[in-house]
Amino acid sequence: MTDTPEHTPTELVTQLTTLLDVEEIDTDLYRGPRLPGGVGRVFGGQVIAQALQAAQRSVDGDKVAHSLHAYFMRPGDENHPIIFRVVRDFEGRSFANRRIIAMQKGQPILNMTASFQAPAEGLAHQDAMPDVPDPDDLRSEHELREQIRDQVPEKFRRFFLRARPIEIRPVNPRNWFAPEKIAPHQHSWFRVVAPLPDDLALHRAMLAYASDMTLLGTCLLPHGVSWMTGDVQTASLDHAIWLHEPFRLDDWLLYTTDSPWAGHSRGFNRGKIFARDGRLVASVAQEGLIRLKRDRD
């Protein structure tokens, strides 16, 4: 997923698929590959997605993941693969529970629990999908970033402009360099940039990966700050996902987020993910560090 012109959309998605293809190295012990060309801290969505893949591969039968809850403890290092140990805490007829510990260099960087359920019928209702413009009527975030490439500091330019396997089309793009103070609500369409195989476990892992995009920035909207301005430090502290309905990551999904609270250098964010047909397919919650740089001086 490096920014080179020879990377086609199919190659970008293949690289992401390979990144999430954890290797079984012993019973309930898996190794997640490192991102080729990655520099610095591992993207939190990658750790969650690889942990979910490890957990999914330890579950037999027709049970599928319906929720996960993760805590980040240490930043991951792009120079090393991640080892995932899966603990089979519960195996019932309808539900199964897995505990996953992600480690690098002998230290845990993430703890996660995931719950699985066999298919079942029951009472049903859902929130309505917001009325927003169709993704075909919006510009991609990559196009928006290319328009301001000359304003991006050199140290951020490669990361900011690199081609990505997941396309995002924001409904209301914000100004990264002079952000206005606005209400903590935003909507973005997203999908992978090339078709995926009919592997529903892979689609769930890719949604987990993508769910860490755009979410934390929601709690910054009322404060007129951005990571690009260099005046705020951000990091995910915990992350939870509830998977409600089947979906495909190679079709458009709407990510609608809000932030009901921030304080004490933390911001709380919520997300709802809708399929294009209006079904609520997942819900997300996350608390993150949002520390002003001047508060550390």
Count the helix, strand and coil residues of the chain and give each as a percent rounded to the nearest 5: 25, 35, 40
* Cα dihedral: 194, 207, 248, 126 (round 10): -150
CA–CA dist 164, 9 (Å, integer) = 8
- For 277: left if phi > 0, alpha if psi spans -120 to 50, otherwise beta; the answer is alpha
- Count other Cβ atoms within 10 Å, centred on residue 266: 14
What is the token pair recorded at 80?
């090393």
127 CB burial (10 A radius; 0-12, 13-18, 19+): exposed
CA-CA-CA-CA dihedral for 109, 156, 221, 258, to nearest 10: -50
Enumerate the active-site residues: 212, 236, 286
